[in-house]
C-alpha cells in the first residue's frame, strides 16, 4: 500500500518541479534581454571601480587558472598550478566523504524503517585523540539534563527547602508499610540524614509524616496512579516509583530511591561514587555474584567444545538505587514504567535488570546507561547480614551504610534487630533469627 502511494506522490512533485524550471528559464531569458539593452558593455566592465577590482582578485584566488593566463611570473604559475592540484585532490577527498556519508545515511534510513533506533541522539564533538597504550578511558559520566522547575513547581519548592545538595533520598509509602517506615525513619534520624523525602501515597502516611516531622510530598490526584497507590499490592506499588521518580530527575535532582524495609546506619551520600547513571545495591551474596563472574556451562556431548562461558551477575536491587539526572537514567525509568504498564504482568525488579543489562540485538535497541554496583558490605542485603556478617567476629565490627531486609519476609522484627544491634550496641540482637525464612 505505502509503496504505490509514495511513488504517485513523487510523480506529482516531479511534474510540479518541471513546470517551475520552465518558468525560471523564461524569466532568465527575459532578464537577459533587458540587461543587454541597459548595459551593452557588460555589468562589470568599469576597471577603475575598486569594488570590481577587488571582486576579480577574490575570484582569481579561488580559480588560479584564470589569473595565470594573464600576467604572472613562471614561479607563480607553477605555485598556482601546485595549489590547484592540491585543491583538486582535496575536492576528490571531499567528494569521497560525501559518497561515504550518503551510503551510511541510506543504510541508517533503511534500518530505521525496521527498528526503533530513530530516536537516538548523535553526539556532536571534535574527534578525540587516543593517548598512549594503557592510558585511554571511556567516560561513564553522562551530562546532566537541563532542570525544568515548571514540570512540577510544588515539588520543586519542597525539594528546594529540603536540600541544597541537589540530591535526595525518596521513599514511597502507603499505610500498609507504616510500621516499617517508622523504623526506617528512626534510623534516618539517628544517622543524621537531612535530605530524606517520603512520597505519601495516602493520608495515613501524610499524618504519620506530620506527627514525626518528616518531609513529605503528596502527589496531585492522578486517576491511573492513585488506584494503584491506594489498593495496589506490593509489586504494583513498586512499579509506580518509576513513574514518580521521573519528575525528580527532570527537576535536576539525583535520586536515591529507597524502599521502606531499610535501616540506615550512615549517611549514604558519603559513600556514593556519582560516576554512573545508575548506582545500585546488589542481591549478590559474595564477590562473584555481586560483581559478576564467568560461569562455565558444560555440555559433554559437544566433546572438545563442551564448555561454553557465560556472563553472570545477581540482579541489582530495584529497592535501593541512585540515579543521576541524565537522559539514560530517565530513559531507564520510562522503559521500565512502559513495560510494567502493559501485559504480560512482570516483576519490576526483573524488568529493571533486563532493561539495564540486555545489549542491543536484531530487532531491539538496548539501553546505553552506565552502571556501578555498590559495595556489598556497605550496602548490605539481609542474606549477607544473616548468613555471613552476624557469624563473623570481624565483619560484625563493620559499620555498614544500610541494611536492606530484602531477603526475609519477617521484615519488621529483623529491621528492629538490626537497629538494636547497630544503634544500641545489643550484641545478641541478631541471634534469634534463622538464616533464611522457615516458609
Ligand atoms: C571482594 O571484593 C572486594 C572489593 O573489590 C575486595 O577488596 C576483596 O578483596 C574481595 N574479596 C575476595 C575474597 O576476593
Distance 150 CA to ligand 1 centre (A): 46
- pLDDT exceeds cutoff 80 at 186: yes
Q: How far is the CA of 370 from the centre of ligand 1 (A)?
A: 22
CA of 287 to the centre of ligand 1 (A): 6
Choose between 86 and 207: higher pLDDT: 207
Q: Is the pLDDT of residue 21 over 90?
A: no
- pLDDT of the residue at 93: 82
Confidence of residue 299 (pLDDT cuts 50, 70, 90): very high
Most confident of 92-96, 118-122, 223-227: 92-96
Q: How far is the CA of 258 from the centre of ligand 1 (A)?
A: 26
Instruction: Lowest mean pLDDT of 98-102, 183-187, 426-430, name the range.
Output: 98-102
**What percent of the chain has a predicted confidence (pLDDT) above 70?**
75
Confidence at 235, pLDDT banded by 50, 70, 90: low
Distance CA 407, CA 376 (A): 14
pLDDT tens, 245-279?
A: 999 999 999 999 999 999 999 999 999 999 999 99
Note whether residue 59 is domain-resident. Answer: no
How far, in Å, is the centroid of ligand 1 from the Cα of 381? 17
Residue 342 forms part of a structural domain? yes
Does residue 346 register a pLDDT over 70? Answer: yes
Task: Report CA(191)–ligand 1 centroid distance (Å).
Answer: 27
CA of residue 429 to ligand 1 center, whole Å: 27
pLDDT band at 46 (very low <50, low <70, confident <90, very high): very low
Residue 53: is its pLDDT beyond 80? no
Taking the centre of ligand 1 as the mean of its atom positions, its distance from the CA of residue 177, in whole angstroms, is: 35
The 10 Å CB-count burial string (b at 16+, else e) for 323-339 is: bbbbbbbbbbbebbbeb
Query: Is position 252 within any domain?
Result: yes
> Looking at the predicted structure, is the pLDDT value of residue 144 above 50?
yes
- Residue 379 sits at φ, ψ, to 5 deg, of -110, 85
- CA–CA distance from 24 to each of 10, 16, 19, 29, 399 (Å)? 21, 13, 9, 9, 82
Max CA separation in the chain (angstroms): 110
Total domain count for the chain?
1
Inside any domain, residue 33: no
DSSP conformation class of 325 = S
Query: DSSP 3-state assignment of 331?
Result: helix
**How far, in Å, from the CA of 134 to the mean position of ligand 1?**
23
Provide the pLDDT for residue 199. 97
Residue 274: closest CA among 206, 193, 365, 371: 371
Question: Strand order of the sheet with strand 167-173?
Answer: 216-218, 196-200, 167-173, 254-258, 316-323, 278-282, 371-373
Cα 176 to Cα 104: distance, rounded to the nearest angstrom = 56
302-313 average pLDDT score: 98
179 Cβ partners below 8 Å, 6+ apart?
A: 412
pLDDT above 50 for 350: yes
What mean pLDDT do residues 365-375 have? Answer: 98
Distance of CA 224 to the CA centre of its chain: 26
pLDDT range class, residue 50, cuts 50, 70, 90:
very low
Contact 163, 189 (CB under 8 A): no
Task: Give the CATH number, domain containing residue 333.
Answer: 3.90.550.10
- For ligand 1, the distance from its centroid to the CA atom of residue 377, given in whole angstroms, is 10
Q: How far is the CA of 225 from the centre of ligand 1 (A)?
A: 42
Rounded (to 5) percent helix, strand, coil in the chain = 50, 15, 35
pTM recorded for the entire structure: 0.72
**Does 173 reside within a domain?**
yes
Residue 437 Cα, ligand 1 centroid: separation in angstroms? 28
CA of 419 to the centre of ligand 1 (A): 26
Whether residue 370 is contained in a domain is answered as yes
- Distance from the CA of 320 to the center of ligand 1, in angstroms? 22
Per-residue confidence band for 225, with pLDDT thresholds at 50, 70 and 90: low
Question: pLDDT class for 240, splitting at 50, 70, 90?
Answer: confident
For residue 75, pLDDT beyond 90: no
* Cell triple for 45: 566592465
Does residue 78 lie in a domain region?
A: no
Percent of the chain with pLDDT over 90: 64
Residue 362: inside a domain, yes or no?
A: yes
* Mean pLDDT rounded to a whole number for the chain: 84
Q: What digits encode the pLDDT tens for the residues 375-410?
A: 999 999 999 999 999 999 999 999 999 999 999 999
Distance CA 184, CA 208 (A): 13
Q: Give DSSP secondary structure letters for 330-364.
A: HHHHHHHHHHHTSSSP--HHHHHHHHHHPPPBTTB
Is residue 262 a contact partner of residue 405, using CB atoms and an 8 Å limit? yes
pLDDT tens readout for residues 103-139 = 677 666 555 544 444 456 666 678 999 999 999 999 8
E strand residue ranges, 48-126: none
Q: Are 219 and 187 in contact (CB under 8 A)?
A: no
Query: What is the residue range of 341's domain?
Result: 149-285+314-377
Amino acid at each position: 500500500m505505502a509503496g504505490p502511494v509514495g511513488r504517485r506522490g513523487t510523480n506529482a512533485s516531479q511534474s510540479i518541479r518541471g513546470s517551475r524550471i520552465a518558468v525560471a528559464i523564461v524569466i532568465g531569458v527575459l532578464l537577459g534581454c533587458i540587461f543587454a539593452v541597459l548595459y551593452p558593455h557588460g555589468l562589470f566592465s568599469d576597471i577603475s571601480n575598486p569594488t570590481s577590482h577587488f571582486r576579480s582578485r577574490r575570484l582569481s584566488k579561488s580559480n588560479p587558472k584564470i589569473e595565470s593566463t594573464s600576467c604572472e611570473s613562471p614561479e607563480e604559475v607553477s605555485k598556482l598550478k601546485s595549489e590547484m592540484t592540491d585543491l583538486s585532490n582535496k575536492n576528490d577527498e571531499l567528494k569521497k566523504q560525501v559518497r561515504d556519508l550518503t551510503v551510511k545515511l541510506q543504510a541508517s534510513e533503511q534500518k530505521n524503517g525496521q527498528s526503533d533506533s530513530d530516536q537516538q541522539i548523535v553526539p556532536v564533538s571534535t574527534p578525540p585523540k587516543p593517548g598512549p597504550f594503557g592510558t585511554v578511558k571511556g567516560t561513564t559520566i553522562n551530562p546532566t539534563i537541563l532542570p525544568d522547575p515548571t514540570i512540577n513547581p510544588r515539588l520543586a519548592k519542597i525539594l528546594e527547602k529540603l536540600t541544597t545538595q541537589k540530591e535526595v533520598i525518596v521513599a514511597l509509602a502507603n499505610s500498609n508499610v507504616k510500621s516499617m517506615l517508622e523504623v526506617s525513619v528512626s534510623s534516618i534520624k539517628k544517622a543524621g540524614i537531612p535530605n530524606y523525602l517520603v512520597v505519601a501515597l495516602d493520608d495515613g502516611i501524610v499524618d504519620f509524616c506530620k506527627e514525626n516531622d518528616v518531609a513529605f510530598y503528596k502527589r496531585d490526584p492522578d486517576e491511573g496512579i492513585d488506584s494503584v497507590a491506594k489498593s495496589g499490592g506490593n509489586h504494583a506499588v513498586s512499579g509506580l516509583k518509576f513513574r514518580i521518580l521521573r519528575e525528580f530527575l527532570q527537576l535536576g535532582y539525583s535520586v536515591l530511591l529507597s524502599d521502606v524495609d531499610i535501616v540506615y546506619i550512615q549517611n549514604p551520600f558519603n559513600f556514593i561514587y556519582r560516576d554512573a547513571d545508575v548506582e545500585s545495591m546488589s542481591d549478590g551474596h559474595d564477590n562473584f555474584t555481586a560483581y559478576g563472574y564467568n560461569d562455565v556451562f558444560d555440555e559433554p556431548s559437544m566433546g572438545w567444545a563442551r564448555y561454553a562461558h557465560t556472563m553472570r551477575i545477581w540482579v541489582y536491587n530495584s529497592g535501593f538505587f541512585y540515579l543521576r539526572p541524565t537522559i539514560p537514567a530517565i530513559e531507564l525509568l520510562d522503559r521500565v514504567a512502559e513495560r510494567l504498564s502493559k501485559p504480560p504482568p512482570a516483576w519490576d525488579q526483573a524488568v529493571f535488570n533486563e532493561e539495564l543489562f540486555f545489549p542491543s540485538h536484531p530487532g531491539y535497541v538496548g539501553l546505553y546507561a552506565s552502571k556501578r554496583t555498590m559495595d556489598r558490605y556497605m550496602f548490605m542485603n539481609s542474606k549477607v547480614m544473616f548468613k555471613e556478617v552476624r557469624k563473623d567476629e570481624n565483619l560484625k565490627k563493620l559499620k555498614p551504610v544500610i541494611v536492606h531486609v530484602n531477603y526475609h519476609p519477617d521484615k519488621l522484627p529483623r529491621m528492629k534487630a538490626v537497629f538494636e544491634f547497630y544503634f544500641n550496641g545489643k550484641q545478641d540482637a541478631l541471634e534469634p533469627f534463622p538464616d533464611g525464612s522457615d516458609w
